[in-house]
Each structure stands twice: as structure tokens, then as C-alpha cells.
Structure 1
Amino acid sequence: MSPLIICPRRFEDSRGWFSETWNDARLKAAGVDVQFRQDNQSLSRAPGTVRGLHFQAVPHAQAKLVRSIRGRVFDVAVDIRRQSPTFGQWAGVELSADNGKQLLIPTGYAHGFMTLEPNCEIAYKVDDYYAADCEGGIAWDDPAIGIDWPVIDSAPVLSDKDAILRPLSSLTVEFPYDGNPLGPLREIAI
């Protein structure tokens, strides 16, 4: 599976709106069959905060479904499956509380995002539990990947752990290739 933008419908009236952010039956009908095990949420206070590029290795590799519940972020997935013809390539999308879009990131992809305004809250589901011994990452600014991050007015804000992540060329873990290279992000409505 390739990364996929999921666009939940919003039912609006004078009070605001309601949305089913995950509907297992509708997504299975669209070819998405993921069983989530854990929900996570993060708050990034400063604009220009970069989190990532993170992944969990086999046997606890994680697919993620990421959405913004406050603010706007530029969210990216990087193909890190060595056998893939798109190894090292990336795709990105703006996720915001206003647009309601979600990015589904399959296993075998590193994930990261940059906040585009203050106080961004991101919620994401994962299909395997956190396993510290399987966590990994690659440098957010690796020129070999060449992510076209949004321009910000100051230096990106990084955690100490993210600031020392190494380039993709140092990656030693293997992810299975399922025959689906990274392509243009496709949107599906649920």
C-alpha cells in the first residue's frame, strides 16, 4: 500500500460540524484494511517545529493515520523499503483542523511533520504498540531525500533526539516491499 489521503465527510449545521474520522467498513470497502492498536497525540507550541522522520522497525513496524486537531502542519512520508523503486522518495500534504484531511502512512515509511503555526495538536493512530527497541529515524533534512519543507522565518525547532538523526544512507533496517511503489498521493472520501 502507498500513503493515502483520507478525507472524512463533515456534516455541518448552524452549530458546527460532525465527522466520522475512522469508519472501518467504509475504509475496507476502499481497500484499506488496518487494525489500529494505539492512539497518540502531540502538541507542538512553536511554528517550525519538526518531528521526525520516525519509524518503528520489524517486528513492531507501524502504519499510522495522522490528522491535525488544532493548527496546520506539513506532513510527509518517506519510502524506506530498500527494494522499492521509490526508495528515498517522499510525499507530503498539509493537514489542518480546518481541512480535516488525514494521511495514512503504511509500514515501511518514515514519517515526520513541520508545524506551520503555533500550538499544533496532532492525533494519530498506529497499528502496533510502541516498542522502544524498534524505534528509529532518519534526518529530516537529508539532502538525498530532498524534502521540500515550507519556508519558515527561523531555524526549525527539533528535539535533541531528532537533531542527531543520521541520513538515509546509514539506514540498516529492512522493510518488506509489497509491490506498491510510492506514487502521487491519492485522496479517498469516507
Structure 2
Amino acid sequence: IDPSVLMQAKVTALNGATLEMIAHGLITGALFLLVGVIYERAHHRDLNRFGGLWNQMPVYSGVLAFMALASLGLPGLAGFWAEFMALMGAFGVYKQIAWLAVFGIVIVAAFFLWMLQRMLMGNLPREYERFRDMNLRENLALFPLVILVFVLGVYPNLVLEPINAVMTHIVQIISL
């Protein structure tokens, strides 16, 4: 492998990993807040007891679906560019490990889709008919995260431009 190609693969992987840390923090933070929203109403976290929340809590359901899709790497959301860049860089250096990461991404995607189906689709249990959608406080806490996940998905250079020079320098130092 040409050393310059190898160096660029490492820089790409580090840029992707750094973007992944930022995207993961935003997305996971939002998902934990969403767990808190539903726990405050149901007083449990048992996925097997939920169902049909899409019609009862449409804003909550939309934000939950948005963040789950962002976490599994849907193009146009922050998780996509982070995973894509990290994997592209990893394939250039460590193919076997990159394939293992792809397998992990598929497992996570399957889990999130299963969770969305379990919580949002189907029949609403009677005990959840009294549930109200997210209140103003919950919306104010979550919507800045939704906006940031979207903005980083359509314009990842907002983060990548400032960090690229640093990552290039780190790879140069390590490669000496």
C-alpha cells in the first residue's frame, strides 16, 4: 500500500471516529432523555409491555424514530457520516476489523428497528391511554439535539474542517 494512501486512510478514520464521538454523545443523550420521558409516564422500561404509542404520543414517537435512525446511521443524519468515515478509513488499514464493525452496525440496526416496532406499532395497551405527548420542558430539552443531529448530518464539515488539520498532524507524529 502506498504510504500516502495509508496515511490518508488513518486521517479519515480518525476524523470519522472524532465525529462519531460527537454524534454518539448527541444521539445517545437524546435517547436517554427519551427513555426518561416514557419512564416518567409508565414507571417501567419493559419493551414487551409497550405498543401503539405512535398514535398516542406522535411527537415523542417521531423524535424516538428520528434518533433511532440517526443512531443506526441513516444517510443525512450525524451518525451516517461518522460511521461512514470511520469505516472507510478502517477498510484502508484493517479490513478484518472493519468487517467486524459492519457486522456490529447491522446488529444495532436490527435492534433499533425491533425496538421501534415493539414500542410504536401495534395496539395501545389500555393502561397507556392516559399518556400525554411530550410537554414543553421535554420538547425544549430534546429539540436542540434533534437540530444538531440533523445539521451535522447535512453539513459534517462544521466539525470536520476544524479537526482535520489536528488529525493529520497526529497521524504524522505517530507515523514517524
Fold similarity call, TM over 0.5: no
Q: Which structure: greater strand fraction?
A: 1
TM range (shorter): under 0.3
TM value normalised by structure 2: 0.23
Larger Rg: 2
For normalisation by structure 1, the TM-score amounts to 0.22
